[in-house]
Structure 1
Amino acid sequence: MAQGDRSSALDQLRHAASLGIDEAVSLPPRCYRDPAIYELEQREIFGRDWIHIGRACDISEPGDYLAADLPGAAVMAVRQKDGSIKVLSRVCRHRGALVASEGSGHSGVFSCPYHRWTYELDGRLRAAPTMEGNPAFKRENCALPEFRMEIWQGFIFVTLSADAAPLGAALAPLSVMIDKYDIGDWRSAFSVEDVWDTNWKVAFENACESYHHIGFHQHSLDPIWPGLTTQPGKGDEAFNFHVVPSIPDFRYREVEGVTLDDGAMSHFFICGIYPSLTLVLAGPSTIWFSFEPLSVDRVRVRAGQLNPAAYFDAPNLEEMVAGDRAMLVGILEEDKVGCLGVQQGLSMADAASGPLSPLERPIAEFVRYLARRLAA
């Protein structure tokens, strides 16, 4: 993309963000398909903002870790011996090999597979064979770098920026809204992962609005949570949200010890946390969706279900988890197919920004977030 073309796309983004909510339009199609815009996002969004990398309950024991890749950084969240969590680099300080593989695991120490430099759980260098023969070697200068992290409602976030404002403060208004659910200590029932051939913003936007229930999910979600009943709320700079009421007389199954009002026990409360995490609070269950860009038209989609401790005491737990998992996998497959079609359409020469429905207020607010990060 030529510099002039990118400037034109960013001008269109600024214009879209400047419109009132009642006359909002979607992002310029070029924002979903151009490698130069993608590279700008990697630098200005994923290289600077708070990025979700996992759930604290999934690394419960000292030595448990979750690995993740950010622009220019391979990181891992590691449970420490004192119960705290640190986010460390996975790059050996010797010659750059990775000391932990992708995904999750457990280790008492982190040992580089190349020359067996070995690190403590907190990143301090424990052993470096033969390095005492080099007078320039200083063990204390060879610890794995540590990155800023915060835990919000049990979710682990990391930022590569020293200047990012505290995450907890940015999400404080959202914390108040969902306080009654008390999801911070909820446990993971299951998680799934897939790669979609679509831009990450297509996937994230899709997860942030329920208007599309009438299309992608007309036989699955819409009969119980009708998309046309969506109630968008006024979001904040760090998040958007909306509520989807259920049909009359629907109610989630009860879980002992969980006390929620009738609305919370029947509707969806959906919030999109910028740039790439969406939560669906559904009574005694919360579904999360995380979107990791892999290229301009590929995204890794992770999703999982959280539940309070009493959920796991149910005598038919295995059956419940299998049913919940099957439902989520089915919904994700509907979204995957639909988002692929959206990406294909946005890649056409005649694609254009279109007017947004009032039910798509979260998308209009996301456009403004992108403009603040990319086109300020």
Structure 2
Amino acid sequence: MPDTATDFAAIRRPVAEARGLPNAHYTDPLVHAQERDRLFFDIWAGLAVAADVPATGDAVPVDFLGVPLLLIRDRSGQVRVFQNICRHRGMILVPEPRRIEGAIRCPYHSWCYGTDGRLVATPHVGGPGMNTHAAVDKATLGLIEVRTHVWRDVVWVNLSGTAPAFENTHADLIARWSDFDAPLLHGGADSRFTLTVRSNWKLAVENFCESYHLPWVHPGLNAYSRLEDHYNIEAPGLYSGQGSTLYRQIRGPAGGTFPDFPGLPDRWDTAAEYVAVYPNVLLGTHRDHAFAIVLQPLSQHETAEHVHLYYATAETDPSLRAANAAQWKTVFEEDIFVVEGMQAGRAAPGFDGGRFSPAMDGPTHCFHDWVAGRFAPA
């Protein structure tokens, strides 16, 4: 598919006139490969959450669009990301999640690295019994570190190393949700789950962005948080989504609720917001809990949705946490047939990208415009 401004002109028109992304952006492996650099590697993208490595030495390998990365919490407690390869011959260092008790040891020739990435041992590199060699400078052969930032427990990475600082890139959203600056505490094992959908990752973003589908896809949710209670959120080039003016806390059998995040102004008593931070992180915030969904593209037609729930305190009712997780899992599972149906529809050669409702689809069009802008030449 040619990368010219003309190809994307129709997508970048005002929402009332625009067409959506063409089929190739959901089905063509070549376009999928181009998206790695333009939509993921050159900007801040979501890799995982810090709660995936809760303890010192915890290490989790992550396939990031074909690039082997290692998420680790080092001895100082800092969350870091390295390329998951030995600097000697490129061997994968950590194939499965585990806790690093000593050093990260390459299983091929036993080169060893600290959890901070330093190369600390090179056995027999100078010959049998000779563990050093003048040509092997350990100080310059540490693990290749990936630029990382943690916000709302999401581990954001910038593989190219060229993006502006995260705080500058997302200053608008950080300010928008500044009322929620208190720490987010992961709910634990019962507050995480993964859904795998047979769909391109972008369709999961598009569906999350808008509330237009609520009456038909989420009738239970729409019964108390109606379509008319929602509003669009659009920050071109950065994020988009929806908000609700009628959020109702989940309650236990005796009427108990989760504690609120501290210091919230009254407007959050019945409000909630849900935004897709481009490219692949879906965030929700409420007075008493939050969630983060990191979308992991497995291929151009399959996506893993890693869902995590957070609270203001670690002392929450386990049964209420389980009920909250079950409720959200039901909502997100209800979306699966929609995104998979749209993916199947992208096999129709006559589909031209579709049209947008000017009133309801602004957030989705905002995302399409961002994708087109990353492809179209300046």
Q: TM-score, normalised by structure 2?
A: 0.88
Q: Is structure 2 residue 307 aligned with structure 1 residue 303?
A: yes
What SS does the corresponding residue of 1:43 show, helix, strand or coil?
A: helix
Match of 1:349 in 2: 349
Match of 1:97 in 2: 91
Match of 2:277 in 1: 273
Q: Residue 76 of structure 1: which of 45, 70, 75 is its match?
A: 70
C-alpha change, 1:170 and 1:351, in structure 2 (3 Å) is same
After superposition, residues 1-376 of structure 1 pair within 5 angstroms as 6-7=1-2, 11-17=6-12, 19-71=13-65, 73-102=67-96, 104-108=97-101, 109-133=103-127, 136-182=135-181, 184-189=183-188, 190-218=191-219, 220-246=220-246, 250-251=248-249, 253-255=257-259, 258-309=262-313, 312-314=314-316, 317-357=317-357, 358-376=359-377
Which amino acid is the alignment partner of residue 340 of structure 1?
A: E
What SS does the corresponding residue of 2:42 show, helix, strand or coil?
A: coil
What SS does the corresponding residue of 2:2 show, helix, strand or coil?
A: helix
Q: Distance in 1 between matches of 2:46 and 2:3?
A: 31
Q: Which runs of 4+ in 1 moved over 4 A?
A: none
Query: Deviation string for 1:297-332 (max 9, x for gaps)?
Result: 1112111111111xx323xx2211211121122222
C-alpha change, 1:35 and 1:172, in structure 2 (3 Å) is same
Q: Distance in 1 between matches of 2:94 and 2:342?
A: 36
Q: Distance in 1 between matches of 2:239 and 2:108?
A: 42
C-alpha change, 1:344 and 1:228, in structure 2 (3 Å) is farther
Cα deviation, residue 375, structure 1: 1.7
Q: Distance in 2 between matches of 1:52 and 1:79?
A: 17
Whether the 8 Å contact between 1:209 and 1:359 is mirrored in structure 2 is yes
Whether the 8 Å contact between 1:13 and 1:367 is mirrored in structure 2 is no
Cα deviation, residue 341, structure 1: 1.0
Which amino acid is the alignment partner of residue 369 of structure 2?
A: R
Whether the 8 Å contact between 1:55 and 1:156 is mirrored in structure 2 is yes
* CA-based RMSD: 2.3
What SS does the corresponding residue of 1:343 show, helix, strand or coil?
A: helix
Q: Distance in 2 between matches of 1:324 and 1:64?
A: 27
Which amino acid is the alignment partner of residue 375 of structure 1?
A: A
Q: Distance in 1 between matches of 2:121 and 2:236?
A: 48
Q: Distance in 2 between matches of 1:9 and 1:360?
A: 25
Sequence identity of aligned pairs in percent?
Answer: 24
Aligned length: 362
Which amino acid is the alignment partner of residue 277 of structure 1?
A: V
Q: Distance in 2 between matches of 1:113 and 1:251?
A: 50
Structure (1/2) with the larger helix percentage: 1
